[in-house]
Amino acid sequence: MNYEQIRTFLTIASYRNITAAANHLYLSQSTVSNRVQALEEELGAQLFLRNKGQRNLELTGYGNAFIPIAEQFAALYKDTQAIKIHEDVRSLSIAAVDAVNTFTFTELYRSLIRNHPEISLRIMTHHSNEIHGLVENRTADIGFVFSRVNYPNIISRPVYRELMYLICHKDSRYYEGMPCCELDPEKEVSLNWGPDYQQWHSQHWPDDKYPLISVNTGNMLQHFLKEKDIWAIAPMSVIKAIAGDNLVCYRLKESPPPRICYELTGRYPNFAHVETVKMFDEALAEHIRANSSICEFEDWMLEKR
């Protein structure tokens, strides 16, 4: 059993088609078929059902059970190669949504590279669904998202919670404890903060009312809140970063659900990076404890959602 056989098996298992797998691997179909047959002979079991006249393959029960073992084998092989190439380098790749990278973790990243110059840090900003894929295929060692989606090869851990507030011009008519019914949805600068937030939003404002403008990053909010009757909703880390002298924030009577941030790590991590991930998690815990904008996650927070 070797890495090329395992890689070929996993590619066919993904495409369920010899031709597509061969094209992906830049190999001939005969080479792909021979690798799988050699692997089956070594294992003493059939991995795919080969039905005459059907182009697509189906995994046998053994083949399905073999997938996680093959993934671990491939991961270990890549680790051994990475150790040879980067023997003296501690690298760490982090993929997070924009709000985390731009606002919540900026000082954390600065502290990390200041206190651990031996770590080569790579920061990537992506949407939540992309981050799950990056962690699963080990392009990223760690991911941070605000949505909890179960993936078989990803461990999801809640790490902190942020409260959400109304943000507006300091001379507006808005006030502390204001009910949602007094806010005009057509004066909103809208940003989709996640499924829980969108469900809460739909409960208080009709879906047939369109916001003044929709944006997709927290940093853009500040550019549209210069008039007195314009409003938005944001977490405190974003508000602190963009508020300046003219913007203020208030708690609403019907508070939006808090944002819970989840740390994603692979079930089969890159062993060369395990110690570096541990160092990062220690720095993260300290950052959360020291940051008044966010609070450390506790089990009861999920129950309150």
Question: Would the pLDDT of 109 be above 80?
Answer: yes
For the beta carbon of residue 10, count every other beta carbon within 10 angstroms.
17
DSSP state of 137: T
Q: What is the DSSP string of 48-74?
A: EE--TT-SS-EE-HHHHHHHHHHHHHH
Instruction: Write down the pLDDT at residue 35.
Output: 93
Q: What is the band of 39 on the pLDDT scale with cuts at 50, 70, 90?
A: very high
Alpha helix segments (H runs only) across the chain = 3-15, 18-25, 29-43, 61-85, 98-99, 106-115, 128-136, 195-204, 236-242, 274-290, 299-303
C-alpha torsion sign, points 59, 75, 131, 257: positive
The class (CATH top level) of 3-85 is mainly alpha
Fold of 164-250: D-Maltodextrin-Binding Protein; domain 2 (3.40.190)
Q: Are 197 and 257 in contact (CB under 8 A)?
A: yes
The CATH number assigned to the domain with range 90-158+260-293 reads 3.40.190.10
Q: What is the mean pLDDT of residues 48-67?
A: 85
Residue 225: CA atoms inside 13 Å, Cβ hemisphere, count? Answer: 30
φ, ψ of residue 273 to 5 degrees: the values are -110, 0
Q: 3-85 and 90-158+260-293 share one CATH topology? A: no
Domain residue limits, the chain: 3-85, 90-158+260-293, 164-250
Mean pLDDT in residue range 11-30: 91
Residues 256 and 305: their CA atoms lie apart, in Å, by 10
Q: Among residues of the chain, what percentage have pLDDT more than 70?
A: 94
Average pLDDT over residues 130-140: 88
